[in-house]
Structure 1
Amino acid sequence: MTHHRPNQEPDVAIVGGGLMGACVAWGLARQGLRVCVLDEGDIALRASRANFALVWVQGKGLGLPAYTAWTKSAAEAWPCLASELLSDTGVDVGLDQPGGFTLCLSDRELQVNVDMMMRLHNQPNTVIYPYEVLDHTQTRARLPAIGPEVSGSIYCPLDGHVNSLRLFRALHAAMKARSVDYRADHVVTAIEPRAGGFALKGAWGEVRAPRVVLAAGLGNARLAPMVGLEAPMKPSRGQIIVTEKAAPFLRYPVVTVRQTDEGGIMIGDSEEANASSLRIDHSISSVMADRAIRMFPLLGDLNVVRTWTAFRVMTPDGSPVYEQSETCPGAYVAMAHSGVTLAPQHAFSLADYIATGTIPKEAAVFSTRRFRVPASV
């Protein structure tokens, strides 16, 4: 059993070492705080493993305009995050923001997407961002490899992508560079509020800290009530197909198809709300593959090298949750479906809020209180 003398206690204990936990841990350590990350390690149902690595603004924030502003700020801060990670670790995360496309395989599909973008931009107090609606010919001028079934597209110049595996590695290397005490295989089974802070316990022993951040993805549902918080979520399974490397043909990321900086093609981003198993569902992967081939016929000649699936964190409305406990101040919950897109917000803004102990008005809209407001008639 490990005993830490009080002067060695971390300033903040973070439960979870995925993209969310790693961003917050590194962000706090950048400010000179002593941080301990308690991570399940690779037994975790890591959402970070199923990320499609898009930095994506397009279409975010319908029903919660603050999410549009939060996402747009994230995309604008990404170059700063990428350069800071590079200087801390020497790892280039492959950030590329040429803009991104939503491709539509029928006129009706295009109209549905256009209507959604108009509704999003017509919301009161929303942040407007640029986008273009393109027909088949205009789309083909920028994406010459599209097939005849693509009826049109929506292009947003703010969108981009990163190398997902290098991002995860860079964050963990950056934590190490900033002396974060990272502990794998440390499943937290209980959190007890104590005078002056919290005791986090597991089979491995106990850690005490004045502040605790729950960034454990699906594990937050079990932990949040221990510190007077809620973590409403539904597991959303995502499947991804990866092909062999191909000659570069896709200069821009598409919402369901992207060519990585190494040449392979990733097809994916299914969202299956009721899946209970991590087994690949071929009925879904075959639909994903079929749509991708209709978008880019040359994909039909490529071999699949791997497929994978993982559960991701999806709140009831798809927007993030950030909240400090009212009954146990110093305890925070942080959950987001878009861990890659929002990484700069978590490393910079959210880490600032936790360091200062106050979540400001513009981020307080992401509390769980929004789920308890009765719908207006």
Structure 2
Amino acid sequence: MIIQTTRINRAGGVHYLASHLLDKTDENELIEILAGDRDALHDAQALASARGCRYSVRHLSISPEREMTPMQLSAFLRSVDTEFRIGPDRPRLVVRHIKNGRSHFHLAVAEVDPGTLRVLDCKNDYRRLEDLARRYEVEQGETAQPARAERRRNRAEGFSDTARKRAERVAPSFDRTALRKSFVKGGAAFGAELDRQGLRLAEGEKGAVLVSAASGTFVSAACRATGVKRAEFQKFLQEENPNARHSRNPLRVPEHDRGDGAQHAKALAAPRAPGAARGARQDRATDGNSRAHSRRAAHTGNGAQEPRGKGRSSAASIARTRERLFLHRLTKLDLDDLLRRAMELAASIMVMLAPERDRLAWRIAEAKRTQRQFPPAERIEEQRPTYDLTRRIRP
């Protein structure tokens, strides 16, 4: 059984999930609603909006190895409810899809409980769901699926799908699975598989690489193609070629092009026997080097010319260096800020050395200067009543 879980973001809404579960009749042979309806998803969205949650729906995809009976499905869903304490009041939708003659199920549960407004527990949900799936496989006699750690160990790291497609474009017969199997068998099988695929080993910048035997174009790193680490592949090469044990890479071949114009490996000169004849260009280079050495030896031997820079004094250069350093630091300084800091320092020193009477007078003056001044209040004129009470009194 394979279980996958996702959380539906409230900002994105539940329309895509509703369409995926209920409306894709062209991709599924049968869509059967076992519990809930479309409104359950919208109720979950409304609860998440009222609670202010980031997620609104928890979606589980359940793919058993064999067909599940209604009792088996009900028992497994109850185990999910018990594990995550979902409760009977949360809006939910259970859908059965039949695709290519096989059934799989979808469970969509609201993240927020309508009664308590508590959010659904999501701590270590992947591990907990895997434990439920392994328990179901043991109880029902299904094939136990590999756990995440086992899949990670079996998967070769570092060889992406993009790199594989690039390798197949350069070498159409590139088969990584066959390379890995032949690598396990030994050096003879690995070499035969390289010949069959039209590949050869070369020295790259970071170890052995695989190149096309015809064009010398870079195909893949050898360690990645075989699914092992670089040190392990290097050890394999040293065991297959004991004479080159002290070499960084015993398989040294001419340079090749990676396809983008850059050289992926360095050209290596062929070994020469002692006293063997060399090309004219190498002879000229050697002759020029010997002449230069003889001229330097002659100048040094006769003493007519002193060694270069021997008679110069280093004091002048040191002085010029100090001057340039001082000017560089001076340009980096803020002179106004430096003057302000100096004045503040001088004022603080004067305050510390002044008599107690002067310091008190300065404090009073500073308090008066910083005291908030309020404008004088305007004079309120006396208001005379407009209604005379005595005019209604009869004589």
Quickly name the TM-score band, shorter chain normalised: under 0.3
TM-score when normalising by structure 2: 0.17
Q: Which has the bigger relative contact order, CA under 8 A and spacing at least 6?
A: 1
| Greater percentage in helix | 2
Larger radius of gyration: 2
Greater per-residue strand proportion: 1
Q: What is the TM-score normalised by the length of structure 1?
A: 0.18
